[in-house]
Structure 1
Amino acid sequence: MFYNLRRYIFLYYFITVLIFGGGFWYAKDSARFVDIYILVIVFLILIVISGIVISKLSIEPLEEYITNLEELSRDTLHELNLPISTIRTNVDMIEKKLTDEKSLKRLERIKTACDMLTQRYNELDYMIKKQTKREVVEEFDLKELVEERVEFLRNIYYDIVFTRDLESFVINMDKIGLSKVIDNIIDNGVKYSQNAKKIDITLKNKILSIKDHGIGIDEVVLLRIFDRYYQNDDSMPGFGIGLYMVKRFCDTNRIKLNIESKKGSGTTIFLDFKGC
C-alpha cells in the first residue's frame, strides 16, 4: 500500500516540476520583461496548489490506515474483555470447591496469568486513549497504587521480599502511565538483584523511593542510565527502553527523578511529586 503511494507521489512531483519548470522558461522567453513578476506570482500559486495536492495524496491514505487500525484495536479490546471476565469468574467458582493443595496452586497460576492479561488489556486501552488524545488523568491515592503494583508483581516475583513504609498521598495524574513507571523501576531492581531478594519501597513527604540491594551502578554508567536503548549488561533481557520511558513520563508530569547508587551496595530511585 505505502510502497505504491510513495511511487505515485514521486511521479506526480517529478512530472509537476518538469511541467512547471518548462512552462516557466517558455513563458519567460515569450513575455515582456515587465510581466516577469506577474509570471512568478502565477507559478508560485500553481506550486502552492500542487503542494496541497501532494499533501492530500500523502496524508489521506495514512489517516484512513490509522483510523482503521484504531477501530480494529478498539474492537479487539472489546472482544478481549469477555474471555478475561469469563476466566476470572469460573476460576473463582472452581476455587470455592477445591481443597487439594496441588490443584489450588495450579488455579493460582491461572489467576496470575489472568491478572497479566488484564494488565495488558488496561495498557492497550491506555495506549488507544493516548493516541486519540483522550484525557487519561484521574485522582487516586498513590499509596493504594503502590500496594496494588506490589501485589501484582509479587505473583510474578514470588521469591522477592517487598518491604513497604507508605503514607497516603492523593494526586491527580495519569494512573496507568505511573503504574508502568513503578513496574519498570521495580522490574529493574529485581533484574539486577539476583542474589539479594529484597526491594524496599517508601512513600514519605510526597517522595516515593524504591531501593534494591543488588549490584549497584557505576558512576560513569549513571550518566547514561536513562538513555534510550542503553543497557549496562547486554546479557540481561530487555531492550534498554524501560528507564528511558520512566524519565520521559517524569519529565512530562513534572516529577523530579533522582537516582543514588553505589557499586555493590544497590540502587535507590526517588520520585519527588512535590512539584506536581
Structure 2
Amino acid sequence: MQHFKNLKFRLIGTLGVVLFTLFYSFGYIVVHTLESSYKQSLEATLFTVLKDIKHDFTQRTDKETITLDDNKAEFDIPVLYAQIVAYDSLSNTPQILNKSSDLKGEILKIEPTIVQQIFDNPEKIVFSMMSDTKLTQRKIYIGTIFLAQNEFQMLFLQCAMPYDKHTPQIKEMISTLWMGLSLLLAIILVVAYILISKSLSNVQKVTNTAKAITAHDVHSIIPQTHIAYEIDDLIDTFNTLLSELQNAYAQVKQFGQNASHELKTPLTIIKGEVDVGLRKERSAEEYQQILKKVAKEVITLHEVIEKILFLSSTTKNELKHHFSEVYLDEILIDAIEEKRPLSEQKNLHLHVNTLEAVSVLGNAALLKIVIANLIDNAIKYSTAPATIEIALFPHELHIKDEGLGIKKEELAHVFEQFYRGDESKQTTQGSGLGLAIVKNILDLHDFGISLQSQEGVGTHIFVTF
C-alpha cells in the first residue's frame, strides 16, 4: 500500500499502463490488418476459382464431365473443396451433383439463408464458414455462387479452402510484436525510471534542505535544481516565503527582546521599592513615597502593555470596514487642548499657524492618538522656552519643534518598535513604541509620514493624506 503513495511508483505505473495500452492497440491493429488482408486474399482466390469454374460450366455442353480438381492444379491451391449442388426449391433439400476429390466422403453445407441471399441477387458470391474435423482441424471458408436454374431446381457452385485466422506468418508476426514491443516498453520504462529518479532526487534534496532549515538559520535559502522550470519556480516562491518568515522571526525576536527589556526596568524598580519597604518599619510618609514610585512604574507598565497589545492586534484591518468621514481640524484642536497643560507645565507654547477644514475617511479615535503622540513627542524633546509650530493644510499636517533633533543615522529607525535614540534614552523616559504606533495607524489609513531633523536644532514632521 505504501508503494501507491510513492510518486515515483505512481509515475512509472501510470506510464507503463499508458504505453502498454498504446502498444497493445498498435499490435492489435497490425494483426487485425494482416488478418483482414489474408481473408481478402482468400476471398479473391475463391472468387477467381468460382468464376473460372462457372465460365467452364456455362460454355460446355457436357456439364456432367466437368472435373472440379483441374482448378486446384491450375491455381496452385494445396487443398480445394468444391461441389456442384442442385437445390430443390419445393422440398428445400440439396443434392450433390459433383465434387472434388479433397471432399472425400464429406459435403459442404449450404444453408437456407445462403440460398435466399443468392436468390435475391444471383450475381452475388456469398461467403460463409463451417467446421468439419473429418476434413480438417481448421475452419473451412466457403464461397457460393449461382450456376443455373433447372425447373424447380437451382444449381449452385461451392468452393472452399481451409482457413485459419492465425496463419503461421501471422503467428510469427504476433510473437515478434509481443517480443519487440515488450522490449521497447521495458527500455522506455527503465529510461523513464532513471530520469524520474534523477528529477525526484533533486526534489528530495530540496525537501532535505527545507527540513534542515531552522528558525536560527536567518539567511538560509534553497538552491535551484536547474532541471525543471516548474520546480525552480516553486523553489523561488518558497525562498520568498522563507525570506519573509525569517524577517518576521527576526522582528518578533527583536520585539520580544525589546519588550522584555522595557517591562523589566519598571518591574525591577517596583521590586526594589518593595524590598526597601520590607526591610524595616518605616514612617507613613516613607511608605507613601514608596507607593507613589510603585504607582508611577505600574502606570508605565500599563502604558507599555497597552501599546504592545495594540501593535499585535489582529483586528486592525477590520477597522477599515468601519471608517467614516471625520474632520481632522476638529481632531487636531482636541489633541492640542489635551496636550496644552503639559506644554504649559514645561513652559512651551503650542502655536497653530494654519488650520483649514479638512475631512478624510478614517477612525477619529485612532487619528487623535497619532496627532497626540506627535505633539507629545514634540513637547517631550523640546527645551523651554520654545514654540511648537502646528499647521493643517488640505493634504498635509506639519508639526515643528525646537528640540533635541535626531541624528542622521537614527532617522531610518525611529518608527521601529522599542527603538530609542541615544540622546532620548538619556534625557527622557519612554518605551520606544509611540512612533511605531503612529506609523501603524497611518499605514492603516494609507497616510504617509516623513521627518526632517537636525541635531540640536529640532524636528519637522510631515503627515500626508
TM-score of the superposed pair, with normalisation by structure 2: 0.31
CA distances 1:41-67 after superposition (whole Å, capped 9, x unpaired)? xxxxxxxxxxxxxxxxxxxxxxxxxxx
User: Which among 370, 373, 381 is matched to residue 181 of structure 1?
Assistant: 370
Tell me by how many angstroms 1:215 deviates.
1.6
Indicate which of 127, 152, 157 corresponds to 2:343: 157
Q: 3-state SS of the aligned residue for 2:453?
A: strand
Is residue 270 of structure 1 aligned with residue 457 of structure 2? no
AA in 2 matched with 1:210: I
Q: Where is the helix percentage greater, Structure 1 or Structure 2?
A: 1
Which digits, 9 at most, give the CA deviation of each residue in 1:38-93, with x for residues without a partner? 688xxxxxxxxxxxxxxxxxxxxxxxxxxxxxxxxxxxxxxxxxxxxxxxxxxxxx
- Residue 137 of structure 1 deviates from its aligned partner by 1.7
- Alpha carbon RMSD of aligned pairs, Å? 2.8
Where do residues 132-211 of structure 1 align in structure 2 (5 Å cutoff)?
133=318, 135-158=321-344, 159-164=347-352, 165-211=354-400
Q: Is the 8 A contact 2:348 2:384 kept in 1?
A: no
Mind listing any 5+ residue stretches in structure 2 that lack a counterpart? 7-302
CA distance in structure 2 between the partners assigned to 1:132 and 1:263 by the alignment? 37
Change (3 A) 1:192 1:133: same
Q: State how many pairs are aligned.
A: 157
Secondary structure of 1:227 counterpart: coil
Aligned equivalents of 2:317, 2:447: Cα separation in 1: 24
Structure 1 residues 39 and 247, CA gap change in structure 2 (3 angstroms)? closer
Contact 1:196/1:214 (<8 A) preserved: no
Q: Choose 1 or 2 for highest CA Rg.
A: 2
Q: Give, in angstroms, the shift of residue 131 of structure 1.
A: 6.8
Give the corresponding residue for 2:31: none
Secondary structure of residue in 1 paired with 2:329: helix
Among candidates 6, 29, 36, match of residue 2 of structure 2? 36
State the shift of 1:130 in Å. 4.2
CA–CA separation in structure 1 for the residues paired with 2:395 and 2:450: 14
SS in 1 for 2:2: helix
Contact 2:373 2:438 in 1 (8 A): yes
C-alpha separation in 2, matches of 1:242 and 1:163: 22
Alpha-carbon deviation of 1:264?
1.8
Q: CA deviation at 1:156?
A: 3.2
User: Which letter maps to 2:412?
Assistant: L
| Structure 2 equivalent of residue 221 of structure 1 | 410
- Distance (whole Å) between structure 2 residues aligned to residue 218 and residue 139 of structure 1: 37
The separation in 1 between residues aligned to 2:370 and 2:329, in whole angstroms, is: 15
1:219-258 correspondence runs (5 A)? 219-232=408-421, 233-235=424-426, 236-258=428-450
Matched-pair identity in %: 29
SS at match of 1:234: helix
Task: Describe the superposition over 1:163-220 as per-residue Cα deviations: whole angstroms up to 9, x where unpaired.
Answer: 1121111111121111111111111111110234321110123100111111211111
SS at match of 1:261: strand
- Please give the alpha-carbon distance, in whole angstroms, between the structure 1 residues aligned to 2:385 and 2:411: 21
Structure 1 stretches of 4+ moved >4 Å = 127-132
- Structure 2 distance, partners of 1:258, 1:240, is 17
Cα distance in 2, alignment partners of residues 226 and 202 from structure 1: 22
Task: Give the conservation status (yes or no) of the 8 Å contact 1:255–1:271.
Answer: yes
Larger RCO of the pair (alpha carbons < 8 Å, separation 6+) = 1
Q: Secondary structure of the equivalent of 2:384?
A: coil
Amino acid at match of 2:351: T
Q: Which amino acid aligns with 1:234?
A: K
Query: Residue 36 and residue 227 in structure 1: after superposition, are their counterparts in 2 closer, same or farther (change >3 A)?
Result: closer
Runs of at least 5 residues in structure 1 that lack an aligned partner in the other structure: 1-34, 41-119
